[in-house]
Structure 1
Amino acid sequence: MSFETPDLMAEARRQIEICNACRYCEGFCAVFPAMTRDKAFSDGTLSHLANLCHNCRGCSYSCQYVPPHEFDLNVPAALANVRQDSWERHVKPAAFAKAFHAHGVAIMGLMVLLIAGFFMAAKSGGEGGFYAVFSHNTLVALFLPAFLLPLFLVALGLRSYWRETGGSCIRLSDLKEAFASVAKMKNLAGGHGEGCNFEKEDRYSQGRRFAHQAVMYGFLLCFAATSVATLMHYLLAMPAPYGLFSAPKLLGIPGGLLMVLGGVEMIRLKLKADPSLGAARVWGGEMAFVVLLVLVSATGLALYAATGTGLVTALLALHLGTVMTLFLLLPYSKMVHGFFRLSALIIEEQKKRGA
């Protein structure tokens, strides 16, 4: 079955209605208990279910209605296409997301090279140390809008998604349960806790869950390292570079290693998995995004290893190029899925208590 159709919602609705009648997969993940609340499925409900889905694929490998059955079910792909469509509809302009997922590697590579080239051309003699290559004021002036503008676009998209899917006033308990689920990657463990079937078909594996945890916690550690370094610069007049046992390095080095290891494992698993059980049209863009995550962390680690050598200027420009590319692509790459999935988990808590 082709999912390159103008009405993804109609196909997802057909499949979910069959699932709702069968209910064999009711305990598999958060999607199926949520599905049983309804008999008819609005577009907003389908978007909500799609963003609850983590594409673990256990339902497909257990389903009696997959091809060659006449029902022709492929629920992971149907929900993956609706999920991708929800991001593209709500985060504007959608054309950027479509372009990135159609030509992800080329766009990502070109942006990294152009931005790195700009930094090479703009290198200056700043305040000494780290900023003898690129002045602190230059970096702040460039990276602050590159970070805040994409977040603003994501926030507008989330507001639209929240309204479509029936989100209401947030309670502390909603946040507590949603963040606990994210912290444990609960839905990637499956309803039974043995993992998912993403890369091993009818066998369970925790590999994808652990890889996502490594990338998530690695990213948070790196973000914390950058935040601490900013406070040290402004409050303590301690500019970079920092020593091995400084707070930025104690946070950033483990964070970078986790991102590299988790990202490489995600690439390996994605290459093993069946692309027909996901949103096939965005496979390239998703792979480009994971490669970009690995490049961000790997260039950061390489930059630290090269401290005091003639490679610092080129490596710093390359690292800054990857970081700014990651920021600029945030609303249109798969990185946006974290914001939407967290929102879906919060909304699900509200729906479970009948809010």
Structure 2
Amino acid sequence: MQRLEALAQEASELAMGRVIPIASAAEQEVGRIMQICNACRYCEGFCAVFPAMTRRLAFEPADVHYLANLCHNCGACLHACQYAPPHEFAVNVPQAMAKVRATTYSDYAWPAGFGKLYRNNGVTVAMALAGGLALFLVLAMVLKGGLFHEPLAGNFYAIFPHNLLAGMFAPVFLFAVLALGIGVARFWREVSPGSASGAAIAETTHDVLRLKYLDGGHGLGCNNENDAFTLMRRRFHHFTFYGFMLCFAATSLATVYHYFFGWEAPYDYTSLPVLLGTVGGIGLLIGPAGLLWLNLKRHPEHGDAAQKPMDRAFIVLLFMVSLTGLVLLAGRETGAMGLLLAVHLGVVMAFFLTMPYGKFGHGFYRSAALLKWAIERRRPNPVGVGSE
């Protein structure tokens, strides 16, 4: 034990800047902690972070961002660690990794200023965008003839013509895809170990779709407000992820209907786009509501308190996209359809504009980190490092 603590203390001093140059305080803290964990290795079987860690003797900024995005913040290692606070080593892997992930979203963001703005004022920016865009559309309705109208049998193109909506949303969506793509490409160029095999891609896809590392490394789940295990975080993530994918599928299918078959909206309640959107919308109510509930209850040592505005903005926006969409579906036969449509479109556009700069992006950065691990683990350990 004394030898282990001596090695950990030496590793801690190395990572404090004597040998390893780490750019920021958050990256330096992860480097310090990883050196201690590398001397201990008690948590080596918990998740992909620790075996990936053992393949390194030093932790450059790119390594730190890779490991931070490989971490799923399950909290298991914090409660298992004998060097966690109040020990003088103060090892808190989930919190240190969370702080670096926040800098990943802003440091790799394009344009960079947008990432920093959203990181510091997530809820305010998201709600201001949603409210402002919805108000703009409401004012357009007022100028056109009023907030309420005769029932239009769900024909929202009578309120906002199709070409107008396509002209508004296509540039916003393409900008979001471009900005997120540039950010993830920058991240990949720094951390990439090279080309991926089919087996590595298949493993990554499996791990992403199952949210494998939200099981705490033992199948019992994550820690949230205390050291008790729960699978709720994993389940609410699944509701959110698959709810979003079903909504995306509904929108994509409706686009195919419109452009390839000439079948214009509104579609029947029993049509495939409406059924997919309804089921997905329900998932996007349950998932974000559960994640927000867990976020509000979570112990402060399990994450980064400064990230809460960004985290909650993403959760609230997802919830509002679903809620306003389902309310619009329920009220599309009424004279309030135009008002409901304006509110929904404002929230959706705000979601797209903020998509590359917050928690939505974490899924892409994490997937890239998982792919790097799937590639890396198939290669021999560098000489002199790795598990003994």
Q: TM-score range by the shorter chain?
A: over 0.9
**1:85-100 paired onto structure 2 within 5 Å:** 85-100=103-118
- Matched residue, 2:345: 320
2:124 to 101, 106, 120: 106
Residues 105, 358 of structure 2: 8 Å contact kept? no
Q: Which moved more, 1:87-96 or 1:141-150?
A: 87-96
- Matched residue, 1:239: 264
CA distance in 1, matches of 2:296, 2:171: 35
- Matched residue, 2:169: 143
One-letter amino acid of the counterpart of residue 86, structure 2: P
Are 1:14 and 2:32 matched, yes or no? yes
Instruction: For structure 1, list consecutive stretches of 5 or more residues without a partner in the other structure.
Output: none
Q: Which moved more, 1:221-230 or 1:166-175?
A: 166-175
Q: CA deviation at 1:7?
A: 2.1
1:309 to 313, 323, 334: 334
SS at match of 2:222: coil
Q: CA deviation at 1:349?
A: 0.8
Cα deviation, 1:294-331, whole Å, max 9, x if unaligned, reads: 00001000000002112211111111111111100011
CA distance in 1, matches of 2:370, 2:84: 28
CA distance in 2, matches of 1:314, 1:268: 29
Q: TM-score, normalised by structure 2?
A: 0.86
CA distance in 2, matches of 1:83, 1:285: 12
Are 1:164 and 2:164 matched, yes or no? no
- Matched residue, 1:216: 241
CA distance in 2, matches of 1:129, 1:193: 48
Cα deviation, 1:215-243, whole Å, max 9, x if unaligned, reads: 00000000000011111111222211111
Q: CA deviation at 1:120?
A: 2.2
- Matched residue, 2:357: 332
CA distance in 2, matches of 1:131, 1:138: 9
Residues 122, 134 of structure 1: 8 Å contact kept? no
Residues 119, 310 of structure 2: 8 Å contact kept? yes
Number of residue-to-residue matches in the alignment: 349
CA distance in 1, matches of 2:24, 2:209: 36
Q: TM-score, normalised by structure 1?
A: 0.94
Cα deviation, 1:240-277, whole Å, max 9, x if unaligned, reads: 11111101111000000001001100010001102343
Cα deviation, 1:66-85, whole Å, max 9, x if unaligned, reads: 12211011111111111111
CA distance in 2, matches of 1:274, 1:202: 10
1:193 to 204, 219, 222: 219
- Matched residue, 1:153: 179
Residues 156, 341 of structure 2: 8 Å contact kept? no
Are 1:177 and 2:225 matched, yes or no? no
Distance 1:345 1:217, change over 3 A: same
- Matched residue, 2:52: 34
CA distance in 2, matches of 1:307, 1:160: 43
CA distance in 1, matches of 2:73, 2:233: 11
CA distance in 2, matches of 1:345, 1:195: 19
CA distance in 2, matches of 1:274, 1:343: 28
**1:20-99 paired onto structure 2 within 5 Å:** 20-99=38-117
Q: CA deviation at 1:174?
A: 2.0
Are 1:297 and 2:315 matched, yes or no? no
One-letter amino acid of the counterpart of residue 219, structure 2: G
Q: CA deviation at 1:6?
A: 4.3
CA distance in 1, matches of 2:358, 2:301: 20
- What percent identity do the matched residue pairs reach? 44
Are 1:347 and 2:365 matched, yes or no? no
Are 1:281 and 2:299 matched, yes or no? no
Cα deviation, 1:76-97, whole Å, max 9, x if unaligned, reads: 1111111111221111233322
Cα deviation, 1:98-118, whole Å, max 9, x if unaligned, reads: 222322222111111111122
CA distance in 2, matches of 1:255, 1:230: 17
- Matched residue, 1:248: 273
2:134 to 116, 119, 132: 116
The CA RMSD measured in Å over matched residues stands at: 1.8
SS at match of 2:356: coil
Distance 1:111 1:62, change over 3 A: same
CA distance in 2, matches of 1:241, 1:259: 22
CA distance in 2, matches of 1:96, 1:172: 35
> Max radius of gyration: which structure?
2
SS at match of 1:331: helix
CA distance in 2, matches of 1:87, 1:105: 16
- Matched residue, 1:228: 253
Q: CA deviation at 1:172?
A: 2.2
Instruction: For structure 2, list consecutive stretches of 5 or more residues without a partner in the other structure.
Output: 1-22, 146-151, 381-388
SS at match of 2:74: coil
